Structure 1
Amino acid sequence: MMKYIFGLFIIIGLVVAGWLYNLYDEIKDDVNTVINYSPKQSTQFFDKDGNLIANTFKDENREYVKYDDIPARVIESLVAIEDTQFFEHYGINPDAISRAMIKNVKAGDYVEGASTLTQQLIKMLVLSREKKLMRKVKEALLAIRLETLLTKEEILERYLNHVYFGHGYYGIKTAAKGYFNKDLYELSLKEMAILVGLPRAPSFYDPTKNLKISLARANQVITRLNTLGWINKEQYESSMKEIPTIYNQTLTKNIAPYAVDYAISQLINDIPDILYGGYKIYLTIDLDAQQIAKDALKKSYDEAVKRDINFRKNPEDDSFVKELNGALVSIENSTGKILALVGGIDYNQSVFNRAFQSKRQAGSAIKPFLYQVALNEGYNPASQLFDISRTYNYTVGGVQKKWQPKNYGGNFQGIVTLRDSLTFSRNLSTLNLVTDVGVGLTTEALKNYGFKDIVDNLSITLGSMSVTLIEFSEAYSIFSNNGTQVKPYIIDQIINKNGDNVIFEPQFKEINKPEQSYLMTSILVDVVNKGTGKGAQVPGIELAGKTGTTNNNVDAWFCGYSPSIQTIVWFGNDNNTPMRRTETGGKIAAPVFSYFYKKYMEIHPEIPRNFIKPENVYTFNVNNKEELYTDVSVIPEIDSQIIYEPSNTNEEVLEF
């Protein structure tokens, strides 16, 4: 009888063994997911000084860490509480399985598992979490196979990078930075114990929600380390008393969202996984400058809102407050590196990025380009222009119309110098200048400067073309960078998860000679010192710039630069309706520029303060005024007898 029973057991054993072999053969390749482990990783954005700006990710916020960079004490703590015999077993722990089976039989239910860390990794990456016998069998078989293909260290590296630590943190490096604002090597023993205790029930043990329970779990880890003799009495007692500081932080930590959004827009087409591919992206952004820019826009916005409230006839009409917005882009003159980019007053209220997604009319901020064309054609700052009224006849759809442009304020002076015409942004003398230089020649020059959608008529003098702040920044760099245009860029370097890097370089385009550009700079300095841009002044530094206001005050600009930094500021209503008449470039935009440079100088007092005049620019005294020239042959004779008496009845009529 015993022989039959023994034989039956042998047969059953062979059947089970055969079944296990077939099952193993069927599932053995499933471990490839673990072997070729390539998890989603957070991409990190840094400023020019290496300060973290933001994390971006898809589903899982994870920063990967190599095994060699994980402190030994973290490994010891994890093994102590989860799998003490990890370095001795071959994937499963028979002793633990036996103990668990006895407890489960006694309880009549599944109350305790016996999974090793290897089995837990298999469960996370390959199998479901169902508590079924078949899953446990597969788990054990795959764990045994995995241990023949990976080292213990490789298994731990995958485990600690993949496991969920609660609060949206995947991987122990992410959790350390999230909960404690520390790198792994900076953690105390108690902090390590908190982390390794989390994976069993991450939501329940989350220290931001249940600190007492989390500390109790950590104390179990420390007690286990002490019991095993892996820490001494002093370490045990001090760690048991410690209560670490816990941080409850957002997952992205995005402190410059408009800048990050622009950077992503530059990369997303070429690198589709840029948001979650584990890249480290170093931006040209200066976080200090970014914050100053944000504060400057908000301050001017708040003051405009106060003006609106004070002058509002209907207290219930807050449409101006709802629609008004602004943007700022600041670049390094010589390279085009973007130091600050703010696309709106409040990102939480509107993620629309007005720095690069919005095209607005340039208005009178276009004038320096028109005058630069004239300077390049032989005019000089002392050239005399006619500031007189003209009537322009034109046809639209077969209907004859008249255009009678005016200066801001309605007056005209007869004759003005080119310098004064631009300094005080006089429309009539600008129209006459462009007419004399030639509309065709001027429009071609504007296209060369980078402007698009240019119409071939005199409406260009009013800045009818639409531009983004990024485009305007590139165009204005011909002045700030001494005639050489630079392309604004925000990405300095990209490092992928394999350590390969791509470095971005400035892009240059030589357009004007430095001498010619300096003539324009000298005029734009006057704009700030005594013209329409006086609101942009900052004591102790030379600044050049131009205000810009479009018809009906729809857009307000200030575009300017110091010897080293250029800044473009825009304000307007998002729905393209007019602002109040008082909200001009000089009123609402120029103060932003002033605030930015004043505060920036406080933290960077070393920046250059004065523009340097090129050697081939000469100063001469004409009509008791000093003026600059690049060609001494065109210096005009002194003539103080020029008198012009404007007539309001005999206006010149031109066709265009």
Structure 2
Amino acid sequence: MYRLIRYIKRNRIKSLVIFVLLVAYYFCLPKQLFKDPTATVITSQSNELLGALIAEDGQWRFPESDSIPGKFKTCILQFEDEYFYKHPGFNPVSIFKALKDNWSSGSVKRGGSTITQQVIRLSRKGQSRTYLEKIKEIILATRLEFRLSKDEILNLYASHAPFGGNVVGIDAASWRYFNRSAHNLSWAESATLAVLPNAPSLIYPGKNQKRLLDKRNRLLKKLYENGTIDELTYDLSIAEGLPQKPYPLPQIAPHLLQKVAKIHKGKRIKTTVKSSLQEQANFIVKQHYNQLKQNEIYNISVLVLDINTREVLTYIGNSPTDRTHQRSVDIIDKPRSTGSILKPFLYASMLDAGDLLPNTLVADVPTQFGSYQPENFNQSYDGAVHANEALSRSLNVPAVRMLQGFGLDRFYHYLKQLQLKDLKYNANHYGLSLVLGGAESNLWDLCKSYAAMASTLNHFNDNSSQYYTKEFIQPIYNSESKINFGKLTNEKTVFDAASIYLTFESMNQVNRPESDESWEFYDSSQEIAWKTGTSFGFRDAWAIGTTKDYVVGVWVGNADGEGRPGLVGVQTAAPILFDVFDVLPKSDWFAKPYDEMLEVSICKKSGYRASSICDDTELQHIQKSGQKTAPCPFHQLVHLDASERFQVNSSCEAVSRIKNTSWFVLPPLQAYYFQNKNPFYKPLPPYRNDCVESSGISMEFIYPNQQSTIFLPKDFDGNTNDLVLKVAHSKPELELYWYVDSKYIGTTKDIHDMAVLPSEGEHMITVVDEMGNELKHKITISE
């Protein structure tokens, strides 16, 4: 050290020059050698190529790889630089031989460049190949050797070497010329690619095939002679042909590629997609697309999620349609009318809030709320139907009546907790049609919500009856992302586990959703909680199902919103749903969350908690919040005579001879429709003629009263005016049900006025209150 200091003092100028040169040498190499744009590349969870988007400059240039395939590495070293791992960045022997050959021939016959020098030359685009440039390359090459390891330099070369046309790098070249990963190339294929960077123009189809073949075979012979490959491998390798034309790159998940490119443009992203499942689902979608397009239905999207990891396993943004029908549009995240797909959320909300039990009877009768009149898909009514059956059959009228009773704002609050981003307006904007497709959502959010519900139930059973705070988290498609479910807590996130379980139990019932037509399926080999939906005007068909481990979501329709006859969830989306479930691993059914449930006595007929007079009960597990529901309102004690054919009371029968019997009684309008589909339903027996009824309820017509013949006037346009019927009731708060000639025409409450337009002739007007009291009046209409 002392001698060095003395030398510097004696040779200050020389030392300064040396110092400047060293500093210049240190900084002569740019921090980033290559700034070329790269293709966006996505791979599966097992690193299989799913698709690539060409770089901005029109080159197929993949992002730099971390490793080089062994066969290609051997070939490129044998062909380009045998002493790569021994020289300091340049090979003096090779340079001397190149100078000697070029001097004797009077032209450039060989270059003598090492792979490190070629990396420098590739990074210095457009530089003339002069001896001065060669000296610069040598200097920069030695500097590169100090910065990077030999393997890193080799990776740079393999990633940026030209392979003919617009193909750059070994990864892109292997797919373009051999339609497979570079790690799966044969010796002959690896040798072909190894000789190409030296003369990339040889690869053009139909040109220079003989020269390319000779160069490849010479390299193969060298490999054979140095013992790298055996004789059999050599013979088989030279017998292989050359690539004749470039292959298109795989496009197994093109819409996921578009999604990735928006955030990670020019990057290589390892996704969570399972390639085998993605390809199977692609095949399923293609089969159904070929059938559906005959009915001018052109677009399909499918999403499959792993519930336990919340990873996207399959992402199909659209069917393999054409540009005219928006092939490039990714429909998974596009808002579409929800149809009935939100009904399970309403059912779960009412269970969670304690407003409903799983089998509670709900009304299914003609209903009108102002100008809004919902109808069932088959335009028929059951009168009364168990809530779980109404869900599994996707009945519209019970759903709207349930929503009206539960409260629009309360349901909307639950939906907002699910973080459905397309719910952009307030509850009143959607009204009661919210549960029938009045709102929009997207396949991503809906699948996320179903997955979160399933995961909530799984975690509750797996973690000593506790919940995670972040169950309703976004799914992931980037394998580097990690799911954080938050902390364990005793408080539910949105729905309690019991409400979710009971909802899934209802969705698991194999009933005919929405229609009795075209139902020759689905006897699935595994239990699936699933729901279909169809939007107004047959524009959107949905099917979403969940098992303990997987959620599958399907949307079918036209991207431009055109409706088509037959575009119904159960007919178009459900078959795809079950075909996809068939290729997924089988799952067990959800475990029952006993810690969130109570065992109570339930009235079998009504589904309510059994009252003391319910005659047919059973023990059922219900959600804890359900214990606050009212007892059965449909059973009442009826006093009968000994024959049980007539009602009696103390005015006509001795008390000791009166038989007290529990009777299942529905409100008149519900009973009217219920008994048509339930022949065992027995209406209340009439009072015996000698008995005095003492119901304490009375009603009478205000108009028409004594008149038997009514003349209907006409207005100035010649149209006949309505007849306004009016009734006074001792309890006006009761609901009245109106009939003309046994045909139901509507209900009134508080103010009992009903406008009708009967035809000319005799008619029977019948009014029945909700207590079963009946009033009849015969009129004659004359014009």
CA distance in 2, matches of 1:288, 1:155: 34
Greater shift, 571-580 or 239-248, is seen at: 239-248
Q: Is the 8 A contact 2:539 2:567 kept in 1?
A: no
Cα distance in 2 between the residues matched to 1:506 and 1:103: 72
1:391 to 364, 368, 371: 368
How many Å apart are 1:285 and its aligned residue? 1.6
Further displaced range: 374-383 or 92-101: 92-101
Q: Which residue matches 2:345?
A: 369
Kindly state the Cα deviation for residue 518 of structure 1 after the two structures are TM-superposed. Answer: 1.2
Deviations 1:613-638 (A, max 9, x none): 22226485613687652245646376
The 3-state SS of whatever aligns with 2:427 is coil
- Compute the displacement of 1:204 (Å): 1.6
Tell me what 1:296 maps to.
284
Matched position secondary structure for 1:481: helix
CA distance in 2: counterparts of 1:32 and 1:87, whole angstroms: 14
Amino acid at match of 1:473: C
Aligned position for 2:578: 594
2:372 alignment partner in structure 1: 403
- 1:137 partnered with 2:131: yes
Which residue of the other structure, out of 552, 575, 593, is the alignment partner of 2:537?
552
Is the Cα–Cα contact under 8 Å of residues 168 and 251 in structure 1 kept in the other structure? no
Asked whether 1:636 is paired with 2:632, we answer yes
Residues 1:127 and 1:329: Cα distance change in structure 2 (over 3 Å): closer
Whether the 8 Å contact between 1:557 and 1:571 is mirrored in structure 2 is yes
Q: For 1:548, what is the secondary structure of its paired residue?
A: strand
Q: Which runs of 5+ in 1 are unaligned?
A: 1-23, 105-109, 269-273, 309-319, 394-401, 495-501
Q: Is 1:613 aligned to residue 598 of structure 2?
A: no
SS for the counterpart of 1:93 is helix
Listed one character per residue, the Cα deviations across residues 58-117 of structure 1 (whole Å, up to 9, x for unaligned) are: 2323543568977455313223799x999874498244224324433xxxxx56454533
Give the structure-1-normalised TM-score.
0.75
8 A contact 1:43–1:275 mirrored in 2: yes
Letter of the aligned partner of 2:582 in structure 1?
K
1:172 deviates by: 4.1
Equivalent-residue separation in structure 2 for 1:551 and 1:233 (angstroms): 68
CA distance in 2 between counterparts of 1:442 and 1:290 reads 36
| Number of the residue aligned with 1:542 | 527
What is the rounded CA distance, in whole Å, between the counterparts of 1:232 and 1:614 in structure 2?
63
Cα–Cα, structure 1 residues 233 and 643, in superposed 2: closer, same or farther, change >3 Å?
closer
For 2:272, the aligned partner's letter is T
Q: Deviations over 1:169-195 (max 9, x none)?
A: 433465456655777787666545433
Residue 567 (structure 2) aligns with:
583
2:593 partner amino acid: P
| 3-state SS, counterpart of residue 289 of structure 1 | helix
Q: Separation in 2 of the partners of 1:339 and 1:554? A: 27
Q: Structure 1 pair 206/422, CA: closer, same or farther in 2 (3 Å)? A: same
The answer to whether residue 541 in structure 2 is matched with residue 565 in structure 1 is: no
Quote the Cα distance in structure 1 between the aligned partners of 2:559 and 2:94: 64
Retained in 2: the 8 A contact 1:343–1:355? yes
Mapped contact 1:79–1:86 kept (Cα < 8 A): no
Equivalent residue, structure 2, for 1:329: 303
Question: CA distance change for structure 1 residues 102 and 525 in 2, over 3 Å: closer, same or farther?
Answer: same
Q: What's 2:410 paired with?
A: 441
CA change 1:584–1:507 in 2 (3 A) is farther
Distance 1:232 1:439 in 2: 76
Output the amino acid matched with 1:293: A
Amino acid at match of 2:160: H
637-646 or 514-523: bigger deviation: 637-646
Larger Rg, first or second structure (1 or 2): 2
Deviation at 1:136, TM superposition (A): 0.5
Higher helix share: 1
CA contact (8 A) 1:326 1:345 kept: yes
Whether contact under 8 Å (2:375, 2:397) holds in the other structure is yes
Counterparts of residues 100-111 of structure 1 (less than 5 Å)? 100-104=102-106
- TM-superposed deviation, 1:376: 2.2
- Give the C-alpha shift of residue 334 in structure 1: 3.3
Alignment of 1:257 onto 2:250: no
1:242 aligned to 2:238?
yes
**Shift in alpha-carbon separation, 1:253–1:507, aligned structure 2, 3 A:** farther
Contact residue 448 and residue 472 of structure 2 kept, 8 A: yes
For normalisation by structure 2, the TM-score amounts to 0.64
Contact 2:338 2:533 in 1 (8 A): yes
Name 1:416's counterpart in structure 2. 385
Instruction: Say yes or no: does 1:96 pair with 2:98.
Output: yes
Tell me, yes or no, if structure 1 residue 470 matches structure 2 residue 457.
Answer: no
Change (3 A) 1:406 1:625: farther
Query: Measured at CA, do residues 210 and 392 of structure 1 come closer, stay the same or move farther in structure 2, by a change above 3 Å?
Result: farther
Aligned 8 A contact 1:529 1:537 in 2 = no
- 1:479-506 residue CA offsets vs partner (Å, 9 max, x unmatched): 4334674434233433xxxxxxx64545
- Distance in 1, matches of 2:229 and 2:293, equals 64
| Distance change (3 Å), C-alpha of 1:126 and 1:46 | closer
Deviation at 1:407, TM superposition (A): 1.9
Q: Give, as a single letter, the amino acid of the residue that structure 2 aligns with 1:371.
A: Y
**Structure 1 pair 384–224 and aligned structure 2 pair: CA distance change class (3 A):** closer
8 Å CA contact 1:390, 1:405 repeated in 2:
yes
Query: Aligned with 1:442: secondary structure?
Result: helix
After TM superposition, list the pairs within 5 Å mapping 1:135-534 onto structure 2. Answer: 135-151=129-145, 153=150, 158-166=156-164, 168-172=166-170, 175=173, 179=177, 190-205=188-203, 211-221=209-219, 230=226, 238=234, 242-244=238-240, 250=247, 252-265=249-262, 268=263, 274-277=264-267, 279=268, 281-306=269-294, 308=295, 320-321=296-297, 324-346=298-320, 349=323, 350-356=327-333, 358-378=334-354, 379-393=356-370, 402-451=371-420, 452-453=423-424, 454-456=426-428, 457-482=431-456, 485-494=471-480, 503-505=482-484, 510-526=493-509, 528-532=510-514
For residue 41 of structure 1, report the CA deviation from its aligned partner. Answer: 5.7
- List per-residue Cα deviations over 1:573-593 (Å, max 9, x = no partner): 22212211x221111111111
Verify the 8 A CA contact 2:531 2:545 in the aligned structure 1.
Answer: yes
1:610 and 1:53 map into 2 onto residues whose CA distance is 32
Matches within 5 A, 1:57-96: 58=55, 59=59, 60-61=61-62, 63-64=64-65, 71-72=73-74, 74-79=76-81, 89-90=91-92, 93-96=95-98
CA spacing shift, 1:536–1:632, aligned 2, 3 Å? farther
Change (3 A) 1:556 1:654: farther
> Equivalent residue of 2:409, what SS?
helix
Work out the CA distance in 2 between the residues paired with 1:343 and 1:596: 15
Identity %: 20
Q: Which amino acid aligns with 1:354?
A: I
Q: Does 1:651 align with 2:747?
A: yes
Q: Please state how far the C-alpha of 1:514 moved relative to its aligned partner.
A: 0.8
d(CA) in 2 for partners of 1:220 and 1:66? 26
Relative to structure 1, the CA distance from residue 653 to residue 209 in structure 2 (aligned partners, 3 Å threshold; closer, same or farther) is farther
Are the equivalent residues in 2 in contact too, given 1:173–1:183 (CA < 8 A)? yes
The 1:442/1:171 distance shift into structure 2, 3 A limit, reads: closer
Counterpart contact for 1:61–1:168, Cα < 8 Å: no
- What is the Cα-based RMSD across aligned positions, in Å? 4.2
Q: Which has the higher contact order (CA 8 A, sep 6+)?
A: 1
Output the CA distance in 2 between the equivalents of 1:225 and 1:329: 48
Within 2, Cα distance between the matches of 1:391 and 1:146?
Answer: 83
SS in 2 for 1:354: coil
User: For the residues of structure 1 that align with 2:375 and 2:211, how far apart are their CA atoms?
Assistant: 75
Q: What whole-Å deviation, never above 9, does each CA across 1:381-440 have from its counterpart, x for those lacking one?
A: 2222222223333xxxxxxxx232222222223222222222222222222211111222
**Alpha-carbon contact 1:55-1:253 (below 8 Å) kept:** yes
Aligned CA distance change for structure 1 residues 144 and 445 (closer, same or farther; 3 Å): closer
Q: Deviations over 1:428-482 (max 9, x none)?
A: 2222211111222222222122232253222213221111110111222354334
